[in-house]
């Protein structure tokens, strides 16, 4: 999981997250001066954006956003982006960094809008982007039924069947992956953000989602310093791959160094402890990466949409396993 949102976006206008609250700005634009409408709530944003109500929406942007993007730029991007779009539907909603992230997907599934609203409906950040979705592989589920590899409540940071809610989706080998972490009161940590021990997910148990045979493990890779570094040379970090019936392989990445409890060739039962969640590999904070593929060669395999014993979560959903 990469914590930065910029990495997901091809077409971006970005993000005044440093300031919250009602705008306190002046302007020489008479049209803007005359606009005294109340802020548009998030639920109405996509309709107003599609209807071309750019001036009202721009007035609602934070000062930091307006310092980076002029009204003319905002309007031009909106007009170009909204071409051939008939409607937007809500894809996900979740608290993030003291704001609420709302994401909408176009009716054709090829464009996404991501906005960050403060409590007073000031828009602190906005992104528009092309989106990969509606691929033919969405119709094919695993033959086996799996549980989530957890034994308490976790939070789905990435998951779903389009690139807006699941940044893995554009890559065939990880298309239906989940990134799971633990959040409390909208935050994934309490304390020093550069200390793995501050993160609620760090050291939590990761368990087998179904019985099978362990075919690959790694246990010696150091954990990264959160928000400081990642290990792109060893993307999975400490990991476990399990072979199940029907030539399906579950994969788990980013275990805490030295905590993997299983060995290659070992038979495991559903719910058996595999190791503890960590921050090794290409990971920016402690979490679990979980997906199922058609081969143990994770670089070349095709990810398979997971048939779960329970709700199929998307970004922003809480999930439980055993």
- pLDDT of res. 26: 34
Q: What is the CATH number of domain 6-130?
A: 3.10.450
Of 258, 261, 254, nearest in space to 278 by CA: 254
Please say if the pLDDT value at position 307 is more than 50. yes
Domain extent listing, the chain: 6-130, 136-319
Listing DSSP states for 89-150 in one string gives EEEEEEEETTEEEEEEEETTSSEEEEEEE-TT--EEEEEEEE--B--GGGG-EEEEEE--S-
Question: CA dihedral defined by 249, 146, 157, 44, rounded to 10 degrees?
Answer: 130
In the structure, what pLDDT confidence band is assigned to residue 35 with cuts at 50, 70 and 90? very low
Query: Residue 200: what pLDDT?
Result: 98
Average pLDDT over the chain, rounded to an integer:
89
Separation between Cα atoms, residue 155 and residue 182, nearest integer Å:
5
pLDDT at 97: 82
For the segment 153-180, what is each residue's pLDDT rounded down to a tens digit? 999 999 999 999 999 999 999 999 999 9
pLDDT tens figures, 45-65: 999 999 999 999 999 999 999
273 and 203 Cβ atoms separated by less than 8 Å: no
Confidence band for 37, pLDDT divided at 50, 70 and 90: low
pTM of the model: 0.85
What backbone phi and psi angles, to 5 degrees, belong to 95? -70, 145
CB-based contacts of 91, cutoff 8 Å, min separation 6: 103, 104, 105, 112, 160, 162, 164, 165, 314, 315
Structural tokens at position 24: 């306190």
- pLDDT, one tens digit per residue, over 66-124 is 999 999 999 999 999 999 999 999 999 999 888 999 999 999 999 999 999 999 999 99
Give the phi and the psi of residue 180 in degrees, each rounded to 5.
Answer: -120, 140
The band of 233, judged by pLDDT with boundaries at 50, 70 and 90, is: very high
Sign (positive/negative) of CA torsion 95, 96, 100, 103? negative
Per-residue three-class SS string for 148-163: CCCCCCEEEEECCCEC
Residue 103 has, within 13 A of its CA and on its CB side, a CA count of: 24
Report the alpha-carbon distance of residue 79 to residue 33 in Å, rounded: 22
Return the structure tokens found at 125. 């950040």
Q: What is the pLDDT of residue 185?
A: 87
The fold of the 136-319 domain, in CATH, is Glucose Permease (Domain IIA) (2.70.70)
Sheet with strand 111-117: strands edge to edge: 88-96, 99-106, 111-117, 123-130
Closest CA to 124 of 284, 5, 29: 5
């Amino acid at each position: 999981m990469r914590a930065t949102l910029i990495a997901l976006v091809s077409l971006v206008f970005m993000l005044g997250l440093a300031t919250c609250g009602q705008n306190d700005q002046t302007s020489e634009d008479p049209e803007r001066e005359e606009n005294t409408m109340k802020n548009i709530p998030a639920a109405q944003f996509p309709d107003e954006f599609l209807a071309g109500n750019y001036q009202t929406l721009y007035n609602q942007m934070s000062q930091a956003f307006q310092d980076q993007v002029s009204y003319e730029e905002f309007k031009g991007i909106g007009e170009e982006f909204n071409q051939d779009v008939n409607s937007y539907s809500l894809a996900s909603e979740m608290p993030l960094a003291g704001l609420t992230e709302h994401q909408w997907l176009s009716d054709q599934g090829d464009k996404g809008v991501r906005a960050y609203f403060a409590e007073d409906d000031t828009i602190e950040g906005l992104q528009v982007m092309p989106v990969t979705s509606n691929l033919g592989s969405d119709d094919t589920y695993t033959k086996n039924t799996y549980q989530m590899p957890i034994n308490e409540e976790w939070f789905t940071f990435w998951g779903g069947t389009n690139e807006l809610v699941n940044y893995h989706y554009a890559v065939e080998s990880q298309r239906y992956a989940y990134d799971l972490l633990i959040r409390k009161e909208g935050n994934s940590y309490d304390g020093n953000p550069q200390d793995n021990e501050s993160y609620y997910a760090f050291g939590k148990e990761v368990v087998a989602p179904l019985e099978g045979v362990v075919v690959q493990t790694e246990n010696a890779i150091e954990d990264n310093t959160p928000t400081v570094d990642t290990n792109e040379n060893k993307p999975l970090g400490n990991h476990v791959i399990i072979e199940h019936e029907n030539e399906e392989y579950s994969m788990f990445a980013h275990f805490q160094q030295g905590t993997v409890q299983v060995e290659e060739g070992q038979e495991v039962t559903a719910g058996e402890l595999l190791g503890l969640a960590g921050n090794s590999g290409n990971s920016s904070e402690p979490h679990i990466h979980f997906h199922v593929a058609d081969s143990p060669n994770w670089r070349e395999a095709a990810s398979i949409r997971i048939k779960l014993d329970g709700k199929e979560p998307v970004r922003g959903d809480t999930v439980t396993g055993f």
